[in-house]
Chain A
Amino acid sequence: MMRYSRRNFLKAAGAGITLTAIEGESLFAAVAPPPPTPITKERATFIINGKPLVAEYEARTTLWEVIAVKLGLTGTTRSCNRASCGACSVLIDGTPFYSCHTLAMEAAGKKIFTIEGLGDEKNLHPLQKVGYLYMAADCGFCTAGWSVTAKALLDKNLNPSADEVKSALAGHICRCAAYSAIVRTVVDTAAVLRGEAEII
């Protein structure tokens, strides 16, 4: 005769076996709630640069993979895949995160901003124009990452000092070490956005 314990019950119930009382014995405790089912995969809408896009993914799929692989927005690069370089940064509801280190399910339904949302060759954002003039990108592999983080900074603070820019962009590695140009780009882009400077 099977001994009823709460644990056994839950296990058995999970296996689809229904248990009933036998000869007046009462079931241990009250009827337990059905066991929860964890998420192993799902399908959701991501609002990327204002556009709703649907993707199917596993629980373990990272946001980077949804954005850059499944949805084909390849602008967001990925380098270390260990949250140690910032190449993959995107904004989620205006806040920078490493997309390689964020489960896709965390960002489902949220507003995501990537480099594609900043500007394209027909309509460059001042950050891109100033960056181009200042050589803020040598190889450019890190550029998408710090660009969105810089955008988040400028959205909050339109007059950042060089130190504030460095603090905000500290989580980005530029292997080509264009840091000095990157900082000047963000500081001077802010000036452009404030109307105090113009791009020649």
Chain B
Amino acid sequence: MKKISVYRPTTIEEAQQMLSMHGTDAAVYAGGTDLLIRLKNRLKQAPAYLVDIKKINNLRYIKEDAQGGVQIGALTKLAEIAESDLLAKKYPMLVQAVKMISSPELRNASTLGGDLLQEVWCQYLRGGYACWRNGGYICYGAIGDNSYYHSAMGGRLCYAVYPGDAAPALITLDAKVKLATPSGAKELTIEQLVPGDMMVDGRIQSHVVRFNEILTEVVIPPPKAGFRASFEKLRPRGVWDFAMASASLGLQLRDRTIEDARVVFGGIAGRPWREKSVEDFLKGKTLSTDLAAQAPTNALSNAAPLKYNATKIDMAKGLLMSGLEKLATS
């Protein structure tokens, strides 16, 4: 792989100093499961300086807070999330979603922070083509072979889909994140964290974290009584692969009446796609299999498929129906 120099700070401040020194030549290094692919493929955009934050204390934990919510340190491994009894009890859908990410060995190395902030998997970027994310000024996916890794909901500069599964699940749970910045701690919703296709520090990223900022924590508010959630992911194989489409659903129920809803699609757009039209449709309705059949009708009506990826929309709708059906019949 490309040559790298690795820093091992023991405090956030040290880490920020190192990141500042090198600007966009440096990057935070945690599990490295995304980063190492880019280094092995010798992408121009891959950093020469790695700031290994794993020696910093207190970034790896899963703990219940005073209100009954949960705080997850950004360096918590996906495997730890998948095996957490606390999370299984409070947010079973999150655990279910995380278990569908990559493979067991990768989940042992990958961190929650890394998963949220991962680079896209567009075959042109990963293949080293000089696109918006790799030193160029073009998106090959928009005009290329775009059945899997590209957005069916439009784009501006970069059309690659946001590939992660944790973010859609966490949006459904109204989670927030904390960033350590030079001007102090900042709090964002997940949607604010990964708005997709953003120009930050002179380059296109899916997230808003700047070169000298570090994601430190994910906070999930306490689960409410009557909240039920589902997560469905459609992919070519039963492990490893990214979502062709995914659907995270959260329903706040009083008996069978839906008081509030969260509907977030993954794998179909440059960001986790929260479909408010379906959320509005569901609010006030009675959860039933009939409702499940009706829900997709007006979903994703402003889809903007590319040449090869129109079925992402149909799959997403099918998953929506499937998720609602599951919640209606369980």
Which residues in A have some Cβ–Cβ distance to B below 8 Å? 10, 35-36, 38-40, 58-60, 62, 81-84, 86, 89, 95-98, 101-103, 105, 149, 167-171
Cβ–Cβ contact B18 & A149, under 8 A: no
B328 adjacent to chain A (CB < 8 Å): no
Q: Given A36-B9, A39-B5, A58-B3 in contact, is the A101-B108 Cβ separation under 8 Å?
A: no
- From DSSP, what is the main secondary structure of chain B's interface residues? mixed
- The number of chain B residues touching the other chain, given as a range, is 20 to 34
CB proximity of A27 to chain B, nearest CB, Å? 18
A167: which B residues are within 8 A, CB to CB?
104
Cβ–Cβ contact B21 & A96, under 8 A: no
Cβ–Cβ contact B104 & A171, under 8 A: yes
Cβ–Cβ contact B32 & A103, under 8 A: yes
Q: Given A60-B1, A95-B108, A171-B104 in contact, is the A105-B40 Cβ separation under 8 Å?
A: no
B240: which A residues are within 8 A, CB to CB?
84, 171
Cβ–Cβ contact A168 & B6, under 8 A: no
CB within 8 A of B239: which of A62, A98, A171?
A171
B231 adjacent to chain A (CB < 8 Å): no
How many Å lie between the Cα of A81 and that of B106 in the bound state?
A: 13
Which residues in B have some Cβ–Cβ distance to A below 8 Å? 1-9, 14, 17-18, 21, 32-33, 36-37, 39-40, 49-50, 79, 102-106, 108-109, 238-240
B18: which A residues are within 8 A, CB to CB?
36, 38
CB proximity of A127 to chain B, nearest CB, Å? 18
Cβ–Cβ contact A96 & B105, under 8 A: yes
Of all chain B residues, the one with the shortest Cβ separation from A42 is B6
CB within 8 A of B49: which of A38, A89, A105?
A38
Cβ–Cβ contact B105 & A36, under 8 A: no
CB within 8 A of A171: which of B4, B36, B49, B103?
B103
Given contacts A83-B37, A86-B103, A86-B105, 8 further A-B contacts (CB under 8 A): A38-B7, A39-B5, A40-B5, A82-B37, A83-B103, A95-B108, A102-B109, A171-B239
